Amino acid sequence: MELWSFFWRTILIYIFMFFVVRLMGKREVGKLSVFDMVVSFMIAGISAIALESHDRPLLHVVVPISTLVGLQILISYISLRFSHIRHFIEGQPIVIIQKGKLQVEEMRKNRYNLDDLRMQLREKEIVDISEVEYAFLETSGKLSVFPKYQALRDKSSQVQFPNTLIIEGKIQEEHLHKLNQDRHWLLKQLQAKGYQDWENIYYASYTDNDGLFIIPNASTSKSGSS
């Protein structure tokens, strides 16, 4: 008897959840706002409790879930009417690269690191940061990229993968050795570009065609001045 009760409760909750999801609207999982995710987690938790507690009336599940769905629909409607509320709930896109320059401070504020950026660029078949004119970190966490015109023209030519030599002031010895070079050579390359050391370099890569590409720390200028 208890098994049949569990069976029918599962079917009823499934049907109810089907209509709940339809009411909440169609959105990609990656585009859910923080509020949507909180509501989804709470609904999942309430449903799990309902399946485990056979002695609890289904009304104890329907009422809180219906309340959450009503709140979600109300917030969505208000967000459509008032942009400042929508920006507060869903956030706004963040400029990661602007006019070819990496916005290091914005990355730090949003706890978005260089490895995240390079991974998402590779997913878009972009092998080096120097190829990007603009990049925006969307509210969904996806990266929108606008390559430089020269980079688009060069897509037909052979792709050169850059050797990453410096990340956040630290020399990547493995990549330096791949070039059959040492720290003395790297320091000379930096000095030729007007930088006195590597400790204040946020990112640097090297290709045979373009040479050394450098992104200094936000507070660093050339000739070692800060």
Q: Closest Cα to residue 76, out of 38, 17, 37, 35?
A: 35
Distances in whole angstroms, Cα of residue 15 to Cα of each of 55, 62, 104: 20, 12, 48
pLDDT-flagged residues of the chain (< 70) = 1-4, 24-34, 149-161, 218-226
- Cβ atoms of residues 140 and 94 within 8 Å: no
Specify the pLDDT at position 154. Answer: 55
| Domain boundary, last residue among 106, 141, 159 | 159
- Residue-level pLDDT at 136: 92
* pLDDT for 22: 74
The domain total for the chain is: 3
- The whole-number pLDDT of residue 145 equals 92
Element spanning 164, H or E: strand 163-167
Is the domain of 169 the same as that of 203? yes
Q: Are residues 13 and 60 in the same domain?
A: yes
**Which conformational region is residue 203 in: left (phi greater than 0), alpha (psi within -120 to 50 degrees), or beta?**
beta
Residue that finishes a domain, picked among 41, 71, 90:
90
What is the predicted pLDDT for the residue at 117? 92
69 three-state secondary structure: helix
Q: Are 205 and 164 in contact (CB under 8 A)?
A: yes
Residue 31: predicted pLDDT: 60
Residue-wise pLDDT for 39-90, tens only, equals 888 888 888 877 777 777 778 888 888 898 888 888 888 877 877 777 777 7
pTM score, whole prediction: 0.57
